Amino acid sequence: STIRMDIRRKASIKKDENDIGINVKVKVVKNKLAPPFKEANFDIIFGTGISKEGDIIDLGLKYDILRKSGVWISYNDIKFGQGRENCKTYLRKHPKIADEIENKILSITGLSKETNKEVNKK
């Protein structure tokens, strides 16, 4: 095999009492095409796939675009909600704000939406 990944479940994502997804940690154990031993954490929502909003929150906090005060997450003067799931719901309902944050993340990392679109086509 060219690439081998170790995928571990970190936590369950719940809504009310039901599991709606999982938070996973993926570690590239073997990679003949790029450097191995890279790690990634992300949410997988059942029936939907990888949560884009969760990635925006994680990277927004990492690059100081979003602020976290206790369990509240905010952007500029906008408070998204109390807790990660409420924040993800807010970003889903307000795609313009999510796009604005995503563009800032892409700018900081030196990427662009056009680069993302080209990669997704392949």
pLDDT of residue 119: 55
pLDDT of residue 83: 87
Neighbour tally for 119: CB within 10 Å = 9
Whether pTM exceeds 0.75: yes
What residues have CB less than 8 Å from 86, skipping those under 6 apart? 80
- Given a cut of 90, whether residue 15 has pLDDT beyond it is no
State how far the Cα of 33 lies from the Cα of 65, in Å rounded to an integer: 32
pLDDT of residue 117: 58
Task: Write phi, then psi, for 30 (nearest 5 degrees).
Answer: -140, 135
Architecture of the CATH domain 51-122: 2-Layer Sandwich (3.30)
State how far the Cα of 54 lies from the Cα of 85, in Å rounded to an integer: 8
